[in-house]
């Protein structure tokens, strides 16, 4: 209950209610884009300042290794399961969506840990960046294989598939991801002096900016819930059970490798989150055969609200009980 009473979460709930009531309240897209970039920049700076203090230790390397492993395991397992119920294109698109990460969910979880004075590594922002692209690349490769099989079965000449080099370039040079990494490097270079200089920007304003952005996300989530009408109950169950299973996979990996409680909680959040911006933007171009109402509706209309309202405190509490 305490997490629901957080002002940022209450603004998200308010956005959900306003969207459900079909209010004309909206945040202009340019402002929403600015808020998103601000949050990533502030997160990158915070991570960089923390990394300047801690340095690249063995614990940091283990956490980053876990992030990469999860970025490969989650979409692969998701595709294996989803392809039993869906065509290969939809299975690949949804697996990519749930195999990648939600920056806003991660930022909200960082704020949750900060408000409760629970320690975590600044390098976890780098872990989020590392988990962004593998699922996209895997989905495109899987979709290309499905496309080739269909053309072979139909006796057609193989058409040109989406070039992997194009996907790699688009994933690695995405503006939001570059801003996050660039801000982190600046934080590492400037260290304590940079931390003091940027505190009013990256620290004092952070909570208010996050609240404003979550208001917009509540509005968007409410409006995307309509995409779920008429969809298979099995898919709706996956939108809730899938993240929980992914979080458990992350917890097991962290337990085996001895990852700290705070880092493990954030890895659980990352594994449980689903992308609704970066992956859909690439998938719409690379896998046009997939149905956007499935992967966008499920991630933004179902999984995102679940994680913001219930998932984050659940993952943090479970990590504390198991690893604390």
Residue 273, pLDDT score = 94
Residue 164, pLDDT score = 58
Find, among 84, 102, 83, the residue nearest to 142 by Cα: 83
Q: For residue 184, what is the domain's CATH number?
A: 1.20.1530.20
Residue 221, pLDDT score = 86
Residue 161, pLDDT score = 59
Q: Does any domain span residue 1?
A: no
Spans of the chain, pLDDT less than 50:
1
Q: Does any domain span residue 80?
A: yes
Q: Does any domain span residue 197?
A: yes
Q: Does any domain span residue 147?
A: yes
C-alpha span between 183 and 181 (Å, rounded): 5
Residue 320, pLDDT score = 93
End-to-end CA distance of the chain: 21
Which are the contacts of 206, defined by CB distance < 8 A and separation ≥ 6? 39, 42, 111
How many domains does the chain divide into? 1
Place of tokens 């962004």: 132
The HSE-up count of residue 151 (CA atoms within 13 Å, CB side) is 12
DSSP 101: -
Q: Does any domain span residue 45?
A: yes
Place of tokens 């590492």: 188
Residue 313, pLDDT score = 93
Q: Does any domain span residue 58?
A: yes
Residues spanned by the domain of 79: 7-224+232-323
Residue 281, pLDDT score = 73
Torsion angle, CA of 245/246/247/248, rounded to 10 degrees? 50
Q: Does any domain span residue 201?
A: yes
């Amino acid at each position: 209950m305490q997490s629901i009473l957080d002002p940022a979460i209450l603004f998200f709930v308010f956005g959900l209610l306003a969207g459900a009531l079909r209010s004309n309240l909206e945040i202009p897209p340019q402002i929403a884009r600015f808020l998103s970039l601000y949050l990533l920049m502030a997160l990158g700076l915070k991570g960089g300042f923390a990394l300047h203090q801690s340095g690249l230790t063995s614990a940091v390397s283990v956490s980053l290794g876990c992030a990469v492993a999860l970025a490969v395991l989650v979409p692969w397992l998701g595709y294996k399961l989803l392809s039993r119920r869906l065509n290969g294109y939809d299975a690949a698109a949804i697996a990519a969506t749930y195999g990648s990460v939600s920056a806003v969910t991660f930022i909200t979880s960082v704020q949750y840990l900060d408000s409760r004075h629970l320690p975590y590594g600044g390098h976890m922002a780098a872990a989020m960046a590392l988990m962004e692209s593998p699922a996209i690349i895997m989905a495109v490769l899987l979709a290309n294989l499905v496309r080739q099989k269909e053309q072979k079965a139909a006796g057609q000449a193989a058409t040109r598939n989406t070039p992997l080099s194009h996907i790699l370039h688009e994933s690695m040079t995405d503006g939001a991801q570059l801003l996050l990494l660039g801000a982190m490097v600046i934080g590492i270079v400037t260290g304590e002096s940079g931390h003091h200089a940027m505190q009013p920007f990256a620290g004092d304003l952070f909570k208010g900016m996050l609240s404003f952005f979550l208001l917009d996300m509540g509005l968007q989530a409410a409006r995307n819930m309509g995409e779920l009408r008429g969809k298979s109950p099995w898919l709706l169950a996956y939108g809730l059970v899938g993240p929980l299973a992914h979080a458990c996979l992350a917890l097991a990996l962290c337990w085996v490798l001895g990852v700290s409680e705070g880092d493990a909680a954030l890895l659980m959040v990352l594994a449980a989150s689903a992308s609704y911006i970066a992956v859909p933007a690439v998938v719409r171009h690379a896998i046009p055969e997939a149905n956007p109402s499935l992967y966008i509706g499920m991630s933004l209309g179902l999984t995102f609200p679940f994680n913001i309202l219930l998932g984050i405190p659940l993952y943090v509490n479970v990590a504390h009980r198991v690893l604390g």
